[in-house]
Amino acid sequence: MADSDPAIVVEGLRKTYRDKQALAGLDLTVPQGTVHAVLGPNGAGKTTCVRILATLLRHDGGRAEVARYDVLRDPDQVRYRIGLVGQHAAVDEELSGRQNLEMFGRLYHLGGRRAAARADELLERFGLESTGTKAVGRYSGGMRRRLDLAASLIMRPPILFLDEPTTGLDPRGRTEVWNAVRSLVDGGTTVLLTTQYLEEADQLADRVCVIDGGRSIADGTADELKARLGGDRIEVVLRDAGQLSAAASVVGMVTHAAEVETDPDRRRLGARVTDRVAALTETVRALASAGIEAEDIVLRRPTLDEVFLHLTGEPARADTSTVDTGTASTATDTARTAKEQTAEEESSV
């Protein structure tokens, strides 16, 4: 694969289950060495897309290539070049971290000596060398997910699929996984990430694809998507909710905003602004002149949560259709029958 070639190309991808259309002409291009996040509400088609790209499911129409190999014509070549980390850990809790990695190495026919050497390399890379002999059942959530990532890299795949990798983790564990993903990308790995956390996409992704109804409805950097909402906001929290109407008039006059949003229960109002510094300075001065006391005044940029709501019409939430495949388990998962795969997918859509 040449350096200029995309790692993943999806064109007009379609998949239907009985009367339910999971993918309706999805387009997606992922450059090499980047993190590309896929966001969407429940049933949008995120998991269906990942399963097709991982050769676990056959699509009905369109085209999908991974590392320049067609997922239908060359599934073995695709599997050799990918790692897959599902939402649920695939490691054995009774075994130690080192024993788990050696086991995965042997499943990939590395042989005992090479599997042990690769296990040591990965434990060191993911900061788990001091816990390599400890049973995984005693690992923290973040440590376990880092071990999942390590297992997915036994064969050094250039492309990694991560399906909601930090679901259920506390902030410390989430940060540990984020740092591990950044390290992978710095080393040249391409990551396709599905996530329920908009902050995660904001932190990790070079580009974000929002899908709904089985189609891509927006694709760009986080900043490009946020710019669709019209710039920054100024938000004011008042000491006295009774002054909310007067404060809204003042803020509207200062910012020239078409609309000033108010929240009486929280004594809060907000409006879009074009000049951040001028809006803040003039709002503070105008409120003081009007005798309106503010408890807090902040400037902030739109969030991906707001972008998501604007594009899809509903708040971001967890996708209940999940890839229950685990790390480094592509060979095991593809051994399932087509009937089993279809039944699982129908239940998730």
- Mean pLDDT in residue range 9-24: 92
Residue 59: partners with Cβ closer than 8 Å, 6 or more residues away: 13, 14, 15, 23, 52, 71, 72
Give residue-wise pLDDT tens across range 175-184: 888 888 898 8
pLDDT of 196 strictly over 80: no
| Beta strands across the sheet bearing 20-30 | 20-30, 8-17, 61-66, 69-70
Rg of the chain taking only CA atoms, in angstroms: 24
In the chain, where the domains are located = 8-226+311-348, 232-300
Look up the CATH superfamily of 8-226+311-348.
Answer: P-loop containing nucleotide triphosphate hydrolases (3.40.50.300)
Report pTM.
Answer: 0.72
pLDDT of 349 strictly over 60: no
pLDDT of 153 strictly over 90: no
pLDDT of 3 strictly over 80: no
- Mean pLDDT in residue range 22-41: 92
In this prediction, residue 286 has a pLDDT band, given cuts at 50, 70 and 90, of: very high
The chain-wide mean pLDDT, for the chain, equals 83
Instruction: Give the pLDDT score at 133.
Output: 85
- Mean pLDDT in residue range 145-166: 87
Give residue-wise pLDDT tens across range 61-118: 999 999 999 999 999 999 999 988 876 667 888 899 999 999 988 988 888 899 999 9
CB-based contact 69:5 (threshold 8 Å): no
In this prediction, residue 230 has a pLDDT band, given cuts at 50, 70 and 90, of: low
Question: What is the architecture of the domain spanning 232-300?
Answer: 2-Layer Sandwich (3.30)
In this prediction, residue 271 has a pLDDT band, given cuts at 50, 70 and 90, of: confident
> For the chain, where are the alpha helices, taking DSSP H only?
46-53, 75-80, 97-107, 112-125, 141-152, 171-186, 198-204, 222-227, 244-255, 276-289, 304-312, 330-334, 338-348
CB-based contact 341:75 (threshold 8 Å): no
In this prediction, residue 2 has a pLDDT band, given cuts at 50, 70 and 90, of: low
- Mean pLDDT in residue range 145-157: 86
pLDDT of 236 strictly over 80: yes
The candidate with the shortest Cα–Cα distance to 331, out of 48, 163, 84, 89, is 84
pLDDT of 315 strictly over 60: no
CB-based contact 61:12 (threshold 8 Å): yes
Instruction: Give the pLDDT score at 84.
Output: 87
- Mean pLDDT in residue range 116-128: 89
Residue 337: partners with Cβ closer than 8 Å, 6 or more residues away: none
Instruction: Give the pLDDT score at 320.
Output: 39
